[in-house]
């Protein structure tokens, strides 16, 4: 498949102002160029400052305006009838960032095409569809009205008119329910007035989908419940997927060859064919070949790591991985607490029989997310402490891999034995690294969240290591949850926290990790690390015991690979194409 990727760059119409230069203002001569080019110079500007937020808002409008202009240009080249736009163009709004497309497409149809409001609205809604990727309130963008007034005043006028009609419809459908009117409104009142971009995307699209079954359910029943009740026919689910050509065939040649030798190469273009591996999970010869391919991937990664960073790891240890964006809800801190529990056990009982582990972390934090940066610092301090402790040397090693990117993931995921998918239940929309680990034969330790639920359904919960509170339990315990109870009543939890609070991991840096105490105890542990810690450790203990039985381990790992067919992006894209875009398959000549 060959697709087109369009990248937009901003440039000033006049590169150099000779009049300014001639008057001696050398900086001013280039100011227009510098200001224009700054729009696309930085990806993801820091939005903790007013200037950063203005730049990000301008970038979003720039992306929308350029892309729509190009789409309309290509449409008009072959079509004179605007009514054909939804047949010829399907625009998927990937999260809230391009939501201004609703107002911009309306502007084009009203002002440039001179269509009436009803016709323009009908075409806009039939052309646009929206995918929600997160339930986090801070990620459901809201932009100040003031920014629209400066940058996009005409689009703001259109949004106000959309909202007037929306509110009118809500009052007709739900008379007397002014609370509902306030919640669905595109304009957030009170304090600084803001435009709710998620609401705009939902109202201006014919389809709104989540990216995992539990995520789509929470979206309908909680996050945008009022809009889902207003437009129930628009809401649907499209569980995410990943491409097996990159994440298995290219990234893991050893396993790919082992699979192809056993069942042929049909799986490369039809991942459901991996189900043919199911009976081979009980075949000792195939299990040996499977384990050999994993060992080869681990040696390859260890060699790459040494060559690129100078760090040395033992490929005979369990490769225990958590690679994802650093965020409190993804709970890298929970993983670190679990490692401290295991560290304490070894310090107390150096002769304890455990499979040696190498714990890998990788991921990036938002520039202004100070607590996430502190968690990275804490993990690195933990790694250094364990490295220099003779009680754990050779049995535990923690590595935070810097500069995480796809190329690194392509090397680490095939080598991984354990995949940690440990978000607080109800917070992870879907996840995709979980799928990549699964199809590469790692076993998952995870909460019942995102697509991990569906993965366990496919493979069977007996082949997963599930733990922790469910979505319903998390929501139900909000009113009474007390992290101090776990601290006071669970000895290993208390010992782990006391070790952190004692300064054991920060000699010479007193108090640097005090914010972790605040998050976990003083402020109520919103993401329920302590509620799940004991259950998490128990799941890891079960997994560690299984690893000592290589045949049983290989059997579960093979069954995971065999069950990963649903999580191909081929399936996901086919569902988008047929159920949202209404696109017909095109025969290849």
Task: Find the mean pLDDT for residues 545-557.
Answer: 98
Distance (Å, whole) CA 234 – CA 448: 26
Active-site residue 245, yes or no?
Answer: no
* pLDDT, position 335: 99
Mean pLDDT of the chain: 95
Active-site residue 432, yes or no?
Answer: yes
Catalytic residue of the set 125, 395, 436, 486: 436
Question: Residue 17 — pLDDT band, cuts 50, 70, 90?
Answer: low
Distance (Å, whole) CA 100 – CA 97: 8
Catalytic residue of the set 142, 245, 300, 325: 325
**Is residue 117 a contact partner of residue 107, using CB atoms and an 8 Å limit?**
no
Catalytic residue of the set 33, 53, 133, 243: 133
pLDDT higher than 70, residue 221: yes
Catalytic residue of the set 432, 494, 504, 517: 432
Task: Find the mean pLDDT for residues 475-486.
Answer: 97
Task: Find the mean pLDDT for residues 228-233.
Answer: 98
Active-site residue 325, yes or no?
Answer: yes
Q: Which two tokens stand for residue 565?
A: 């067919």
Active-site residue 217, yes or no?
Answer: no
Which domains, from first to last, does the chain contain?
42-238 (3.40.50.2000), 244-574 (3.40.50.2000)
pLDDT tens string 31-49: 666 677 888 888 878 888 8
Distance (Å, whole) CA 442 – CA 338: 19
Is 0.85 surpassed by the pTM of this model? Answer: yes
pLDDT higher than 60, residue 24: no
* pLDDT, position 139: 82
* pLDDT, position 31: 60
pLDDT tens string 413-453: 999 999 999 999 999 999 999 999 999 999 999 999 999 99
Q: What separation in angstroms does the CA of 575 have from each of 211, 391, 450, 568, 579?
A: 12, 53, 18, 11, 6
Region of 24 (left: φ > 0; alpha: ψ -120 to 50; beta: rest) is left
* pLDDT, position 39: 86
Q: Which DSSP string do the residues of 185-202 spell out, in sequence order? A: -SEE-SSS-EEEHHHHHH
**Residues forming beta bridges with residue 323, ordered by sequence position:** 362
- Find the helix packing angle between 253-263 and 284-309, rounded to 10°: 160
* pLDDT, position 16: 45
Catalytic residue of the set 324, 327, 395, 486: 324
Catalytic residue of the set 194, 206, 330, 338: 330
Q: CA 516 from chain center: how many Å?
A: 24
What percent of the chain is predicted at pLDDT more than 90?
A: 89
pLDDT tens string 84-102: 999 999 999 999 999 999 9
pLDDT tens string 334-353: 999 999 999 999 999 999 99
Active-site residue 330, yes or no?
Answer: yes
Task: Find the mean pLDDT for residues 161-182.
Answer: 98
Question: Residue 587 — pLDDT band, cuts 50, 70, 90?
Answer: confident
* pLDDT, position 23: 57
Task: Find the mean pLDDT for residues 458-480.
Answer: 97
Task: Find the mean pLDDT for residues 525-544.
Answer: 98
CA atoms within 13 A on the CB side of 283: 11
User: Does residue 176 sit in helix, strand or coil?
Assistant: coil
């Amino acid at each position: 498949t060959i697709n087109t990727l369009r990248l937009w760059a901003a440039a000033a119409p006049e590169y150099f102002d000779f009049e300014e230069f001639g008057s001696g203002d050398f900086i001013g001569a280039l100011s227009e160029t510098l200001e224009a080019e700054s729009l696309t110079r930085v990806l993801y500007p820091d939005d903790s400052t007013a200037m950063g937020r203005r730049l990000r808002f301008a970038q979003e409008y720039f992306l929308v305006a350029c892309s729509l202009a190009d789409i309309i240009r290509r449409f008009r080249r072959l079509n004179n009838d605007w009514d054909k736009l939804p047949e010829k163009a399907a625009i998927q709004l990937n999260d809230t960032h391009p939501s201004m497309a609703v107002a911009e497409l309306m502007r084009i149809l009203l002002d440039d095409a001179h269509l009436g409001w009803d016709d323009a609205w009908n075409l806009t809604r039939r052309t646009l569809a929206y995918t929600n990727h997160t339930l986090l309130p801070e990620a459901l963008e809201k932009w100040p009205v003031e920014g629209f007034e400066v940058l996009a005043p005409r689009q703001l006028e259109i949004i106000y008119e959309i909202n007037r009609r929306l509110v009118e419809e809500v009052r007709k459908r739900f008379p007397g329910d002014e609370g509902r009117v306030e919640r669905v409104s595109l304009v957030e009142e009170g304090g600084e007035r803001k435009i709710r971009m998620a609401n705009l995307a939902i109202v201006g699209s014919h389809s709104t989908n989540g990216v995992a079954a539990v995520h789509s359910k929470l979206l309908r029943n909680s996050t945008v419940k009022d809009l889902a009740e207003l437009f129930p026919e628009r809401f649907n689910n499209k569980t995410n997927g990943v491409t097996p050509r990159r994440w298995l065939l290219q990234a893991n040649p050893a396993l790919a060859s082992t699979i192809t030798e056993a069942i042929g190469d049909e799986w490369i273009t039809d991942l459901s064919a991996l189900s043919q591996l199911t009976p081979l999970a009980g075949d000792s010869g195939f299990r040996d070949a499977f384990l050999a391919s994993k060992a080869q991937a681990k040696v390859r990664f260890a060699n790459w790591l040494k060559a690129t960073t100078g760090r040395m790891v033992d490929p005979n240890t369990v490769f225990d991985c958590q690679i994802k964006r650093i965020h409190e809800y993804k709970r890298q801190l929970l993983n670190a607490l679990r490692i401290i529990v295991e560290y304490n056990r070894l310090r107390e009982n150096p002769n304890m029989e455990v499979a040696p582990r190498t714990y890998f972390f990788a991921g990036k934090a938002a520039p202004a997310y100070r607590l996430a940066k502190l968690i990275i610092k804490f993990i690195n301090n933990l790694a250094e402490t364990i490295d220099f402790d003779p009680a754990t040397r050779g049995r535990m090693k923690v590595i935070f891999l810097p500069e995480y990117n796809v190329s690194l993931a392509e090397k680490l995921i095939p080598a991984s034995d354990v995949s940690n998918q440990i978000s607080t239940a109800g917070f992870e929309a879907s996840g995709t690294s979980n799928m990549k680990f699964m199809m590469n034969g790692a076993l998952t330790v995870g909460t019942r969240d995102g697509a991990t639920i569906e993965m366990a359904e496919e493979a069977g919960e007996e082949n997963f290591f599930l733990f922790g509170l469910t979505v319903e339990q998390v929501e139900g315990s909000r009113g009474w949850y007390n992290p101090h109870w776990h601290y006071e009543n669970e000895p290993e939890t208390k010992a782990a926290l006391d070790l952190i609070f004692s300064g054991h991991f920060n000699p010479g840096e007193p108090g640097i990790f005090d914010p972790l105490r605040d998050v976990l105890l003083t402020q109520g542990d919103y993401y329920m690390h302590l509620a799940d810690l004991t259950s998490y450790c128990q799941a890891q203990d079960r997994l560690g015991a299984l690893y000592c039985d290589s045949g049983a381990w290989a059997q579960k790992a093979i069954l995971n690979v065999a069950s990963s067919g649903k999580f191909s992006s081929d399936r996901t894209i086919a569902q988008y194409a047929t159920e949202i875009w209404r696109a017909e398959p095109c025969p290849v000549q």
